Amino acid sequence: MEPVATTSQAGRRRGPLVPRGDGHVRWRAAPSPLPRLRAGHVHVWRSPLDGRGVGGPARTLSAAESLRAARFVRPADRARFVASRAFLRRVLGRYLGQPPQDVRFVSGPQGKPGVFPGGAAPALAFNLSHAGGWAVVGVARGASVGIDIEPTSAHVGLDDLAGVMSPREARAMRSCPPADQARALLILWTRKEAVVKGEGVGLGAALDRIDATRPAEGPDRVCVDGWAAPCWWLARAGPDAAHVGFLAASAPIVQVRYWDDVGRTGSRGHPRAMP
């Protein structure tokens, strides 16, 4: 689908109201060591969960994660959970200079996971999303991040999102050509969920008070009154053309790098510490 575009009062074509959120980004094999994660830089990682990826030894999971894995009824769901947690630990270990099994998590008031604060400042922030056959992780320093992906096969209709759209969002979605509407809704939802996950408030938040459409001008930013982080800057994070995805960061995004998890480690047998 082409993005929904708006036209300025002067008749000039503006940016898309609902930009593409799919895999039209350039993924590269992650080098070792990684480039420095500076202020305003965001790294997005992807890993397939269908067995094509690096996988990850279940032994890198904590006791609590292993217990959670054991509760999955379907072996395929269990395998995906183990693979996504091993991937998350592997990625974070690279920034923290720790073996994956040594990464310690903390939980925010509404369950948003973070890494146990180490000595390094500014603090490392991350967020994970898994859907379809992929897991993605967004990583930044000194800013919070949220990320969400959804498969394009998910069928979303106007009625499904009626209760969670702001008036502006509802107008934008209703004005979409019917052929484009399902995808526009999916993109809108993914943008909104990335922002909600960034703030860590969960889907119990007043979602209809969030306007996740792209501003007609200026940076792609979503602001929400009363939140700890009042504005969120968005970037694409779809792992492939069959998924839409967005990352939201609580500070302006200067650069996004997209890394494929190829499981490379530093010379000491565990990931090299990131500056």
* Site size toward ligand COA, by CB under 6 A: 17
Any idea what DSSP says for residue 264?
Answer: -
Interface with ligand COA in residues 243-272 (CB under 6 A):
none
Hey, what are 41's tokens? 């830089």
* CA-based max dimension of the chain: 60
Under the criterion CB under 6 A, does residue 200 sit at the interface with ligand COA? yes
Read out DSSP for 245-271?
EEEEESS---EEEEEE------TTSSP
Interface with ligand COA in residues 4-33 (CB under 6 A):
none
Nearest CB to ligand COA, comparing residues 16 and 56: 56
Nearest CB to ligand COA, comparing residues 89 and 130: 130
Interface with ligand COA in residues 73-112 (CB under 6 A):
84, 110-112
Q: How far apart are CA 177 and CA 191, in angstroms?
A: 20
Residue type, 44: V
The residues with which 7 forms a beta bridge, in sequence order, are: 13
Read out DSSP for 88-111?
HHHHHHHHHTS-GGG--EEE-TTS
CB of 11 to ligand COA, least distance (A): 39
Under the criterion CB under 6 A, does residue 60 sit at the interface with ligand COA? no
CB 135 within 8 A of CB 49: yes
Under the criterion CB under 6 A, does residue 113 sit at the interface with ligand COA? yes
Hey, what are 32's tokens? 């070792």
CB of 129 to ligand COA, least distance (A): 3
CB of 270 to ligand COA, least distance (A): 22
Residues that bind ligand COA (CB under 6 A): 84, 110-113, 127-131, 148, 193, 197, 200, 202-204
